[in-house]
A and B are shown apart, each in its own frame.
Chain A
Amino acid sequence: MTTTREPTEQHPHARHQLDRVVIRFAGDSGDGMQLTGDRFTASSALFGNDLSTFPDFPAEIRAPAGTLAGVSAFQVQIADYDILTPGDTPHVLVAMNPAALKANLGVLEKGATLVVNVDAFDERSLAKAGYASNPLSDGSLSGFTVYEVPMTSLTQQVCKEAGVKPRDAERSKNFFALGLLSWLYTRPVEPTIEWIATRFADKPLIAEANRRAYLAGLHFGETAELFEATYEVRPAHFPPGEYTQVTGNQALAWGLIAASRLSGLPLFLGSYPITPASDILHELSRRKEFGVRTFQAEDEIAGIGSAIGAAFGGALGVTTTSGPGVDLKSEALGLAVNLELPLVLVDIQRGGPSTGLPTKAEQADLLHAMYGRHGEAPLPIVAAKTPSHCFEAAIEAVRIAVKYRTPVILLSDGYLANGAEPWRLPDVDALQPIDPGFASAPNHVDEDGTPVFWPYARDPETLARPWAPPGVPGLEHRIGGLEKADGSGNVSYDPHNHERMVRLRAAKVAGIARDVAPVEVDDETGDAELLVLGWGSTYGSIVAGVRRARARGQRVASAHLVHMHPFPPNLKEVLDRYRVVLVPEMNLGQLSRLVRAEFLVDARSLTKVQGVPFRAGEIESAILSALGGDA
């Protein structure tokens, strides 16, 4: 930490420079902590920091106020260099009530700063949080730097002047917190003022209350003589380009729209609301100017059923869901495998089994995606690795689905879905077109020389069947879930034909390996002993963990899979290069099981199922112990 400005009479606070800071905003579910965190993030993005966020909230919309179960938190790391995670341990906790303090104290950095809303630390609230005595006065916080700020009463005071009732004003206290933290970390002010005016344009009184609360927070920091310094995190060095901030669900929705454009196929989304996937439905339903049809179905089955119907008609059929919805869609997914129609099923994974942890992330649907259908029903699987990568992953899923006439499962998770990061906008003109290659003429001649259409005559290279949406005379055909005769597609119960069809479907999917990018290995020195192999949202934690291990002098490589099925063609060769293969996953070891089975590699599994991402430190420790233990 360097000091960039000494205190002067005009600026009584010193300004210190930090390379990064991790802040966690925590309060009651109804306190608006997600909004506060979002806004802090947005102004940091505009300022040019690198950042990564972790919204962490309960499944209940409003759990009982003031209880530990009702605590909603938003963690953001901002930095002047490229970071990959929302940070292991927050340096600053903003606690709007005793429960928020109690629930988050354990995850903080040693000696962290606490900014607490002291107004909420009354006897009743303390009791609700399970505090026998007030932690602000009983000495239990002696290891922390504590700032007690009367956020509620100060907010009420400034709002009163604008004619806002105290009860309504109380709701603006999150903007006070935002203002105070914005001052403390020298965030730009204007964008937030403008944002408040736009966001609450139709509610002028609320807009005014929020604006006043926000400014009051800023002024409080400046004048209260409570803080001795402010901090700044300078802009990060990003590659040149135009940037925006996206969440995974937003990027995924945009990727689907882009794929619709690239293929010329109208996008149809059949979906049933489910956490944490619903935001894709919301985003796409707003985008009618792109000709997107969104259909909120009566259930998960109708969601995928309608998408299959749309695909049969020549549209880009997509269905979005989370684990419980995948269970319900399994039968229809098997139908799509048999019909060999393009379809994308997006699974935003969450903690399971059953209803599990709806708002928490897990990667435990991989084996379900691989094997969760009756019969031999293989399909390709693509997994996104960062929020912005969801854009690319969606296009890749559509490309495979359309080219190979197959359903594809696209895996994301709650952490990617809601997490945000800066995204350098791609050049959309450079994106590769996707050719739907509709059938236009008969493709076979029957015994008496008549040209006929065979719906299951395959492309010899891709093994894909023709896609012939209704409307073309001469290509009328019937397909269904019953086994079909190779070529003609007529119903067939012939045992040898069945075996041929089972093997053809498997060979088609396996052959996609020839058409996917090889997995890239990050092996700085080229002589690493250990490879960390990951997939999905653990990307950030793994790369950060690997960097830390390298900083300790360890030779470590990492590789991250996007194509989960089939695996990239070079994966075996990559795995064989390393003495130790470590596979961190937010499940009980699903990818590690797959690579062990497929490649006879003695992969070591590192698992975590707490609904929260790996910390970089956990990956680092696992690397060190794997290497140390062997040495």
Chain B
Amino acid sequence: MTTTAVPATTRKDWSSDQEVRWCPGCGDYSILAAVQMLLPDLGVRRENTVFLSGIGCAARFPYYMSTYGLHSIHGRAPAIATGLATTRPDLDVWVVTGDGDALSIGGNHLIHALRRNVRMTILMFNNQIYGLTKGQYSPTSEIAKVTKSTPFGSLDTPFNPISLALGAEASFVARTHDMDRQHMQETFRRAHEHDGAAFVEVYQNCNVFNDGAFEKITGRDVRAEMLVPLVHGEPIRFGAEREKGVVQRSDGRLEIVDVAEAGEDAILVHDEHREDPGLAFALSRLAHGPYEPTAIGVFRAVERPEYGAEMARQIAATQERRGLGDLKGLLRSGATWTVA
């Protein structure tokens, strides 16, 4: 809208005057801080930034931002964002959601926003539990989870959100976690740069209803051994001495090996631009749950036509060909006759 230089801002400029009401110790605080501290670096304007959400703890996020914001209804944020992003290409549209909001009640909207590649940055806080409704199991909870609604243990197989997004034809898929601000910011920055729908899963600790869900992989002392950073163009290695790596067997299976034994050349080099999502899918399933070495970072970032831009292109091409719409002509587009 405005053409003058983007004013310099600080975290404070992106914080609203509303008191943050998450439980003390909630992982959401560090994600909020990461976003508020990143935005001054992105060269964007507050008035052109919109945070949209559905329902759940994560969905309160827009109230704490000093941008435009819309806290909507359960699961529908990607649908609402689609209408906003396609009519207002000048805006930065962020969707903040949770595992229940995005994968349960809103699963349909998420997968379709991803396949259409509508320009929006989706941050999905995954804490593997329902927080706002006080502790029922979620679609990412592990099997046999005992909660208020599953006193004998849950029966359903959980979703793997990264696998789901890849299966939904997402053009940008990443994972990060609430214990590492720098990794979050780098991942969010990449997601924001992406021209299309960007999906970021954020492992987030709910210290009230599912405390420590990710501590086996994100704890400071275990992180080096349990998180497998994906860096484009580099061999996929991890461990305190980067002594472990991922190799692909001849049957397509991925396996974690000692680099010394397998040889450096055998280690898989990460390519986030691969057209075929198969390898990214395999990487998303390196761990069976947050207790085994788990890949984080950008799984996939490919270029694909953005939905809103394509919609605008069709309109522009039609107007080029037919001229701007003429209402009088429209009403006369069928047969007409005159009565004297």
Do chains A and B interact in one complex?
A: yes
B70 within 8 A of A: yes
**Contacts of A312 on B, CB cut-off 8 Å?**
50, 70, 80, 83-84
Contact call B108/A299, Cβ cutoff below 8 A:
yes
Distance A301 CA – B83 CA, assembled complex (angstroms): 12
Contact call B62/A309, Cβ cutoff below 8 A:
no
Contact call A309/B331, Cβ cutoff below 8 A:
no
B319 within 8 A of A: yes
**Contacts of A375 on B, CB cut-off 8 Å?**
none
Distance A257 CA – B337 CA, assembled complex (angstroms): 23
Contact call B83/A309, Cβ cutoff below 8 A:
yes
A313 within 8 A of B: yes
Contact call B334/A244, Cβ cutoff below 8 A:
yes
Contact call A313/B62, Cβ cutoff below 8 A:
no
Contact call B87/A266, Cβ cutoff below 8 A:
yes
List residues 22-40 of chain B with CB under 8 A from any CB of chain A. Answer: none
**Contacts of A242 on B, CB cut-off 8 Å?**
332, 336-339
**Contacts of A479 on B, CB cut-off 8 Å?**
69-71
Shortest Cβ distance from residue A234 to the other chain B in the assembled complex, whole angstroms: 13
Contact call B73/A289, Cβ cutoff below 8 A:
no
**Contacts of B335 on A, CB cut-off 8 Å?**
42, 45-46, 191, 244-245
Distance A266 CA – B83 CA, assembled complex (angstroms): 12
Point out the residue from A46, A289, A311, A425 that lies within 8 Å of B324, measured CB to CB.
Answer: A289
B48 within 8 A of A: yes
Contact string against A for B residues 109-147, beta-carbon threshold 8 Å, 1 for contact and 0 otherwise: 100100000000000000000000000000000000000
Contact call B327/A261, Cβ cutoff below 8 A:
yes
Distance A270 CA – B112 CA, assembled complex (angstroms): 14
Q: Which residue of B lies closest to A285 (CB)?
A: B314
B79 within 8 A of A: yes
Contact string against B for A residues 206-234, beta-carbon threshold 8 Å, 1 for contact and 0 otherwise: 00000000000000000000000000000
Shortest Cβ distance from residue A279 to the other chain B in the assembled complex, whole angstroms: 14
Distance A108 CA – B84 CA, assembled complex (angstroms): 53
**Contacts of B52 on A, CB cut-off 8 Å?**
309
Point out the residue from B2, B55, B80 that lies within 8 Å of A309, measured CB to CB.
Answer: B80
Point out the residue from B47, B327, B330, B336 that lies within 8 Å of A243, measured CB to CB.
Answer: B336
B204 within 8 A of A: no
Point out the residue from B69, B86, B336, B339 that lies within 8 Å of A240, measured CB to CB.
Answer: B339
Distance A475 CA – B311 CA, assembled complex (angstroms): 28
Contact call A472/B83, Cβ cutoff below 8 A:
no
Contact call A478/B327, Cβ cutoff below 8 A:
no
Point out the residue from B47, B51, B72 that lies within 8 Å of A475, measured CB to CB.
Answer: B47
A239 within 8 A of B: yes
Taking residues whose C-beta sits less than 8 angstroms from the other chain, chain A's interface range is: 35 or more
Q: Which residue of B lies closest to A309 (CB)?
A: B83
Known contacts A307-B83, A425-B332: does B314 contact A288 (CB below 8 Å)? yes
Contact call B76/A332, Cβ cutoff below 8 A:
yes
Known contacts A428-B328, A480-B70: does B83 contact A317 (CB below 8 Å)? yes
Contact call A268/B83, Cβ cutoff below 8 A:
yes
Contact call A478/B62, Cβ cutoff below 8 A:
yes
A310 within 8 A of B: yes
B267 within 8 A of A: no
**Contacts of A332 on B, CB cut-off 8 Å?**
73, 76
Contact call A305/B47, Cβ cutoff below 8 A:
no
Distance A257 CA – B336 CA, assembled complex (angstroms): 20
A315 within 8 A of B: yes
Distance A155 CA – B315 CA, assembled complex (angstroms): 44
**Contacts of B319 on A, CB cut-off 8 Å?**
288-289, 291
Contact call A470/B91, Cβ cutoff below 8 A:
yes
**Contacts of B332 on A, CB cut-off 8 Å?**
242, 244, 425
**Contacts of B87 on A, CB cut-off 8 Å?**
266, 268, 293, 309-310, 313-315
Point out the residue from B81, B82, B85, B330 that lies within 8 Å of A254, measured CB to CB.
Answer: B330
Distance A314 CA – B311 CA, assembled complex (angstroms): 18
Distance A243 CA – B332 CA, assembled complex (angstroms): 9
Contact call A302/B76, Cβ cutoff below 8 A:
yes
**Contacts of B85 on A, CB cut-off 8 Å?**
309
A482 within 8 A of B: yes
Which of A's residues lie within 8 Å of B, judged by CB? 42, 45-46, 48, 191, 238-246, 254, 257-258, 261, 266, 268, 270, 287-293, 295, 297-299, 301-302, 305-315, 317, 331-332, 335, 339, 424-426, 428, 469-482, 490-491
| 24 pairs of residues in contact across A and B, judged by CB atoms under 8 Å | A48-B337, A191-B335, A238-B339, A244-B334, A257-B325, A268-B87, A287-B325, A302-B79, A302-B109, A306-B79, A306-B83, A309-B85, A312-B83, A313-B87, A425-B331, A425-B336, A428-B331, A469-B88, A470-B50, A471-B90, A473-B46, A478-B63, A478-B68, A478-B70
6 smallest CB-CB distances across A and B, nearest first, come from A480-B71, A309-B83, A305-B79, A306-B83, A290-B325, A478-B69
